[in-house]
């Protein structure tokens, strides 16, 4: 994966906090050969609270004009081969739209699964940049309903020929919504989720992860703060028995099929199925991209 570079490196001391807050997410998008949408910029500004007018003033100011290109609602890092990247990104957008349109039945099925509070697009589909033919989903289930939800989805996907399309690769139940990551990568993936079901549940997920506020202070809606929300209802004993049975059946199978990886977790309340943990590689690319334009990369990225 190539990293786009700005034409002229500069010292971070020449940028004010709002300008740095704008530049960071655009640089991050550039390592995926993608732009940042102007409509999403305010919520993705890093480490600084700003108004829309302050953001716009900085975006159009002399310090960023030499580093960024804004056109047709997209912001690119200057210095990259823009015509080729525009064409490639437009194709990935089309691939994403076509993929989701073709498989509306798959998404509808996930939304109807009993016990699902939140189902959200993640990965490439969440960024309108799918480069394969699978649909990654992040799911929050009711308490003690995670394994039976995953097992049901897996069996139905195999029966209907969706096995290579439907990828429920990160599931937590409502008792485990405080995610372990406390860095830019984890925060950016969290705020980039696109809920298909459960807008209210998405707010609960954000409330369970207040650590993202210092990183993306403009993203959290007012009033979203606090600790992990409590469970709504107690699960009947029959439901607990089904959960234990599904876990007993499915967890050994996944342990056998999946490699040992920091991206894999198979606990009672969290299932993460990232056979390849991209975090270290992306972190290194982001650090290099920031250094290439004279910006320091804090340890917490």
pLDDT digit string (tens) for 181-220?
888 999 999 999 999 999 899 999 999 999 999 999 999 7
CA 15 to chain centre: 27
Burial 137-147 (b: 16+ CB within 10 A, else e): bbbbbbbbbbb
119 φ/ψ angles, rounded to the nearest 5 degrees: -125, 125
pLDDT in tens, 210-251: 999 999 999 976 444 444 444 444 555 567 999 999 999 999
Element (H, E) at 64: helix 62-65
Looking at the whole model, is its pTM more than 0.75?
Answer: yes
Domains, the chain, in order of start with CATH, read 12-89+281-292 (1.10.10), 102-276 (no CATH)
């Amino acid at each position: 994966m190539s990293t786009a570079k700005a034409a002229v490196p500069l010292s971070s001391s020449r940028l004010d906090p709002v300008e740095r807050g704008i530049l960071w997410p655009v640089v991050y998008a550039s390592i995926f050969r993608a732009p940042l949408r102007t409509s999403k910029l305010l919520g993705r500004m890093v480490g600084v609270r700003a108004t829309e007018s302050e953001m716009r003033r900085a975006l159009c100011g002399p310090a960023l004009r030499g580093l960024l290109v804004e056109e047709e609602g997209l912001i690119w890092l200057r210095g990259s081969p823009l015509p080729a990247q525009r064409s490639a990104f437009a194709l990935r957008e089309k691939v994403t739209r076509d993929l989701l349109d073709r498989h509306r039945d798959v998404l509808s099925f996930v939304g109807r699964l009993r016990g699902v509070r939140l189902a959200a697009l993640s990965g490439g589909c969440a960024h309108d940049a799918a480069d394969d033919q699978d649909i990654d989903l992040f799911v929050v289930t009711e308490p003690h309903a995670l394994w039976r939800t995953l097992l049901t989805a897996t069996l139905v996907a195999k029966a209907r020929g969706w096995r290579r399309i439907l990828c429920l690769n990160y599931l937590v139940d409502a008792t485990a919504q405080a995610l372990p990551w406390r860095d830019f990568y984890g925060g950016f993936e969290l705020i980039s989720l696109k809920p298909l079901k459960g807008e209210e549940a998405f707010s609960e997920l954000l409330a369970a992860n207040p650590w993202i506020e210092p990183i993306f202070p403009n993203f959290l809606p007012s009033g979203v703060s606090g600790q992990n929300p409590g469970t709504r209802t107690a699960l009947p004993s029959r439901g607990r028995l089904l959960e234990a049975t599904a876990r007993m059946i499915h967890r050994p199978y996944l342990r056998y099929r999946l490699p040992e990886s920091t991206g894999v977790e198979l606990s009672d309340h969290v299932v993460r199925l990232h056979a390849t943990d991209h975090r270290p590689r992306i972190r290194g690319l982001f650090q290099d991209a920031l250094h290439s334009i004279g910006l320091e990369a804090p340890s917490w990225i």
